[in-house]
Chains A and B, each alone.
Chain A
């Protein structure tokens, strides 16, 4: 019998880092092991996006709007992922019995949330790219990218803010119990409307667009559209630079909020003994 290999115990930042990848692992590897999800996760939003393209065609909209819808349709994947696989995830984990394993493991809960976000972004990016590619091909969308580095930067910051918000929501949804399901349902169409997923958010008017800017995808999508469909006069609620600064602020606020809320929820949950109670 071989002598047992001595395992080096991870602590501090190393533990945090390992925990992130341990939680991201099933999402990343899982998506490559079972490819059938690609059909279900891309065809469904693709049909919804195509419907909105045909509406624009039925009312004689300029061709540029097809591009707006295609980009918005691709970005819905991220919003749905944040709602169903970030915000609701701790609740699912509680229901499935995983949360208690997370709690008793030495890995920090914040790192687990971050791991979910990393895995979620990678998995959803695949889905978004497919929707974007297929729809662009089917509907013959042409792009005029003003600045690729800025576009990438906007995307990264938007994702940081968006998934930061998802991490913050995870604690709120866990506290909400079985209402989490309905909250997620409720936050779909209203956000598609307010954030301008299928039309330039400027069309909603200044005040609604301002309030909707709390959702990172509002400004992220507007900035990306400005950079991808350069020169279209219907775009640009704010300038790309201003939108980038606001998105950076939102990222910091949401991630800080997520840390605070998770700590609070854990403390209350442990004190009242309801953190892993499955009946709620």
Chain B
């Protein structure tokens, strides 16, 4: 708490209710996510799942191509899957806070009697999973460089593009998470699988582990509607540089065009999530379901 306290005590933060809410929620989220086990077990937990997830694809690829790991499509699949870790973590990190507080800890009512800002509280709760996700992404990519000689050179990475696209990508994911969390406020059933369902759909439609060209033509437009498609393409281009595999669906777009599209969708999602959250909160309170414990 001492690090958090020093943030909270800075004059700039003290003046902003939203910033204080965000930082405190981030601290709370970290405590919940990490204090169930000792650090060693927690580290293993954070590493094993993403690495084995990517190994499934490595084995699938190797069985078919007899281990042709130097082909550009291998790096495409590997990096896509590694980066995709953030999608599930951020979306469910934000949306699951509602389930945790309402169903598990049964503190939602008490939380909303405080002067906090609910939108920034939920955003803050997602930070812990974002941090865990980022560590998993780095470990998975590092593992790929060492074990499978992914053609990545630290010096050749386009850092400004990677940072800009990742910030926009994470913001868009957090906005999607807010929408899912807002829906959860109004749902009595099936809320457990909502976040996973959304991230599962994005896995299929955004070209995370295969080029969009492989999808039937009538399904491809769905991928163009999601920011994840553009973020993954930009991040791959930034990390792999000229080694990035090019496929017809997105190769016609320049880096700047992709960034522009990503920024526009992110902005729209953030605005939409803000209004949607306020509407969902109002509906949940109006219908008397805001603090229900469904035990579903």
Question: Which A residues fall within an 8 A CB radius of B?
Answer: 34, 36-37, 40-41, 43-44, 47-48, 50-52, 54-61, 65, 96, 178-179, 182, 185-186, 188-190, 192-193, 197-200, 203-204, 234
Contacts and interface: CB of A to CB of B under 8 A. Distances in A.
A50 B204 CA distance: 7
A182 B37 contact: yes
B49 A59 contact: no
Interface in B150-201: 189-190, 193, 196-197, 200-201
Dominant secondary structure at the B interface: helix
Contact of B64 (A36, A61, A185, A197): A61
Given A44-B196, A51-B203, A199-B63, A189 B49 contact: yes
List the 9 shortest-distance A-B pairs measured between CB atoms, nearest first.
Answer: A58-B210, A189-B53, A190-B52, A189-B52, A61-B64, A47-B200, A47-B204, A54-B210, A58-B214
A60 B65 CA distance: 9
Nearest to A197: B56
Contacts of B193: 40-41, 44
Interface string B278-292: 000000000000000
Given A50-B204, A51-B203, A185 B49 contact: yes
B256 interface: no
Nearest to A183: B45
Contacts of A234: 63
A59 B214 CA distance: 10
A36 B64 CA distance: 38
15 contacts: A48-B200, A51-B204, A54-B209, A55-B210, A57-B210, A58-B77, A179-B37, A182-B36, A182-B45, A189-B49, A189-B50, A190-B48, A192-B56, A193-B55, A203-B62
Given A179-B36, A190-B52, A52 B196 contact: no
A6 to B, nearest CB: 35
